[in-house]
Chain A
Amino acid sequence: MTRTSVVAPGAPAGAAQHQGVHPGADAGGRPGADIGAAPDGSWAVATPFISCHDVHRSFGSTQALRGADFAAGAGEIVAVMGPSGSGKSTLLHCLAGILVPDKGEVVFSRERIDTLSEARRSELRRRRFGFVFQFGQLVPELSAEENVALPLLLAGRPRAQAFAEARPWFARLGIEGLEGRLSSELSGGEQQRVALARALVADPQIVFADEPTGSLDSLNGEQVMELLVDTARERGTTVVIVTHEPRVAAYADREVMVRDGRASCTPDRSAWAPPRQAGDGDAA
């Protein structure tokens, strides 16, 4: 497998192989990506696993995204940060195929997904993406176990098999004993762990997390983040986390700042200090 690596602006090409090794890239069995410097000095992923280019998205007269660029390598954990209303959630929704950009393209595993049909994008979400949102977005009428097995059931997996695959996640995420409880009866932290199990049960290639700790206290937030990051690293899953909390972003390999609908990225924090260059705030 190719390792994900980051190259500083102006560094020799070979530096990528021994500098800035992505911590989870080896374990997941995913194609890797090289994160390197663009000619203009900004940071870029040379072989992105998921990326978007010049994405515009409006809601009525409000322009949420104005030419956003983003790229994440396989196994990379990227935090998308920005102030409220900056467009970071919209960026995540466009990357996940939940929203279709008005303009621009979204590429996942070398395939444009913004042009796919609704059914194909649903299939992508079911088979290759996982989601952890702020309030869990669990189905309240279903038990925790049923919620976790949901992506598998929707994919046509036999019921017994789906539940057999769902059950181990409870022990793994420290919520054993809650399988039969209705999700509406769970605490916020428990719900978020169930959501995490649901996001990971189908062995997704990317997990999209939108303010995953937004509704949790700091202790539960940390626990959820540790579970998410540890599991992702262990499985080589790419994670895109939208957050406005630096504490959460600290778990990521790299941060992407979104301001006024435009994104800019910082390099892998494990390898490099963020470059300080004028004008890099608007370019990805």
Chain B
Amino acid sequence: MSGASGARSAVIRLGLRLSWGAAKEGKVRLVLTALGVALAVTLLLFTISGFNALDAKDVRGGWLDTSRANRVPSVDESRSDPLWWRLSYDLYGGRLMGLVEVAATGPASPLVPGLDRLPGPGEYYVSRDLAKLLAATPADQLGARFSGVQAGILGDEGLTSPETLMAVVGRSPAELESSMEAFQVRSIETAPTEHNYSEFVKVALGIGAVGLMLPVLVFVMTSTRLAAARREERLAALRLVGATPGQVSIVAAVEAVLAAIAGTAAGFGLFYVFRPLVARIPFTGEPFFTTDLSLGPLAIAGVAIGVPVASVLASLWTLRRVQISPLGVTRKAPPRGLVPSDCWRWSWRWRCSSYRPSSTTRRCALSASLWCSPSSRSPSWWWDPG
């Protein structure tokens, strides 16, 4: 092992040792930071999976937009047999119930998602929740609306939510031909449904997630400051025995990455533990399928790698603002630029001085003063030519 790489691995090991072997305050800081990171990661994962769930919901509901001219047909329309199609909605107990009546005209009529065969005349398929409702409700109140026998359960692929009330009822072509609302289709729509509210919900979800994440990030930042004096004392001791600024940065970064890795792992754990509960929250009026709150491999890799990397960068950025010398830690003053408070102070000094600027100068200064002023006090006396 070369000296440089040996020193680097020794420093990383030292960082781990210092993080694990830290005194009580150090351990509390590590745990709280990890907890904060875990909360932030959980929120981030739910936000990402929330977007995915909205997309999945739109995909699941796409087949209900089936028309004569589908944007993305489910089958080759030149080879399929027409299917009579009528979509209607009904209410039961205040709940919306979808009713799709179909009549195949041949063996190659397109299949509805969630079914492995089309219902024949006098048969119907219902969603799981509707089946429960049918079982619990007198037939004359609900079951009679479908007139026939239940052939099976409509699969989840055809439902926008686990609580969707949906029925696919088989009719004869003759029954639907006479209906004004029925029409023939040669395929089922597979393009996602275009809900305006999906985009709105996504924006709201994003804003909500940022709103929730901000206090969590403040919590993370606060927790990293716990026992800072002791940590800085330790880093100064390392500098005294010859650790370079780079080596000290590695030690600090190791601690940050340790908390971030633990927090990220815990965040993923919390996400999968609470996913079934969060899926039940009816953000769009009805709950999501748990599996729809999913994470793509890119999102998983992005969060799993990105959060620790970001925490290391944040740690190094924080260290840029302090100078760790063998004698202790000094904080570098931020570079003084033109900040609004300065403008206000300068303009105030100017007002108080006996200097009488020209009219144009006064106008410019007044504009600057008003622009920078923290309050909206009246500057009327400023116009007094005195």
| Chain A interface (Cβ < 8 Å from any Cβ of B) | 93, 98-99, 118-119, 122-127, 129, 131, 133, 137-142, 146, 150-151, 153-159, 182, 184, 198
Task: Report the bound CA distance from A182 to B3 in whole Å.
Answer: 27
Q: Is the CB–CB distance between B325 and A154 below 8 Å?
A: no
Q: Confirm or deny: B10 has a beta carbon within 8 angstroms of a beta carbon on chain A.
A: yes
Q: Is the CB–CB distance between A127 and B238 below 8 Å?
A: no
Q: Confirm or deny: B111 has a beta carbon within 8 angstroms of a beta carbon on chain A.
A: no
Q: Is the CB–CB distance between B23 and A184 below 8 Å?
A: yes
Q: Is the CB–CB distance between A119 and B245 below 8 Å?
A: yes
Q: Is the CB–CB distance between A151 and B325 below 8 Å?
A: no
* B interface: dominant SS: helix
Shortest beta-carbon distance, B290 to chain A, in Å?
Answer: 44
Q: Is the CB–CB distance between A125 and B7 below 8 Å?
A: no
Task: Report the bound CA distance from A98 to B326 in whole Å.
Answer: 7
Shortest beta-carbon distance, A119 to chain B, in Å?
Answer: 5
Say whether, besides A98-B326, A118-B245, A119-B245, A141 and B1 are in contact (CB < 8 Å): no
Q: Confirm or deny: B236 has a beta carbon within 8 angstroms of a beta carbon on chain A.
A: yes
Q: B1-43, CB under 8 A of A: which get 1 and which 0?
A: 1111111001101100110011100100000000000000000
Q: Is the CB–CB distance between A141 and B3 below 8 Å?
A: no
What residues on B are CB-neighbors of A141 within 8 Å? 17-18, 21-23, 26, 234
Q: Confirm or deny: B351 has a beta carbon within 8 angstroms of a beta carbon on chain A.
A: no
* Residue among A93, A138, A153 making CB contact with B237, cutoff 8 Å: A138
* Residue among A123, A133, A158 making CB contact with B1, cutoff 8 Å: A158
Shortest beta-carbon distance, B20 to chain A, in Å?
Answer: 9
Nearest to B20 among chain A residues (CB) is A141
Q: Is the CB–CB distance between B325 and A98 below 8 Å?
A: yes
Number of B residues with CB within 8 Å of any CB on chain A: 34
Shortest beta-carbon distance, B308 to chain A, in Å?
Answer: 22
Say whether, besides A98-B326, A146-B17, A156-B3, A151 and B241 are in contact (CB < 8 Å): yes
Q: Is the CB–CB distance between B17 and A157 below 8 Å?
A: no
Q: Confirm or deny: B229 has a beta carbon within 8 angstroms of a beta carbon on chain A.
A: no
What residues on A are CB-neighbors of B325 within 8 Å? 98-99
18 intermolecular pairs with C-beta atoms under 8 Å apart: A98-B240, A118-B245, A122-B242, A124-B242, A127-B242, A131-B326, A137-B240, A139-B18, A141-B18, A150-B14, A150-B241, A153-B7, A153-B10, A154-B238, A154-B247, A156-B5, A156-B10, A158-B6
Shortest beta-carbon distance, B272 to chain A, in Å?
Answer: 34
| Chain B interface (Cβ < 8 Å from any Cβ of A) | 1-7, 10-11, 13-14, 17-18, 21-23, 26, 230, 234, 236-247, 325-327
Q: Is the CB–CB distance between B326 and A156 below 8 Å?
A: no
New A-B pairs, 4, CB < 8 Å, besides A98-B240, A150-B238, A155-B242:
A127-B242, A153-B10, A155-B3, A156-B1
Shortest beta-carbon distance, B305 to chain A, in Å?
Answer: 28
Shortest beta-carbon distance, A15 to chain B, in Å?
Answer: 40
What residues on B are CB-neighbors of A182 within 8 Å? 21
Q: Is the CB–CB distance between A153 and B244 below 8 Å?
A: no
Q: Is the CB–CB distance between A142 and B326 below 8 Å?
A: no
Task: Report the bound CA distance from A139 to B326 in whole Å.
Answer: 12
What residues on B are CB-neighbors of A154 within 8 Å? 7, 10-11, 14, 238, 241-243, 247
Task: Report the bound CA distance from A250 to B230 in whole Å.
Answer: 35
What residues on B are CB-neighbors of A155 within 8 Å? 3, 7, 242
What residues on A are CB-neighbors of B238 within 8 Å? 139, 150, 154
Say whether, besides A146-B17, A154-B11, A137 and B236 are in contact (CB < 8 Å): yes
Say whether, besides A142-B17, A156-B10, A131 and B240 are in contact (CB < 8 Å): yes
Nearest to B3 among chain A residues (CB) is A156
Task: Report the bound CA distance from A126 to B244 in whole Å.
Answer: 9
Lowest 7 CB-CB distances: which A-B pairs, in order?
A126-B242, A156-B7, A156-B3, A156-B6, A125-B242, A122-B244, A153-B10
Q: Is the CB–CB distance between A137 and B237 below 8 Å?
A: yes
* Residue among A93, A122, A140, A158 making CB contact with B23, cutoff 8 Å: A140
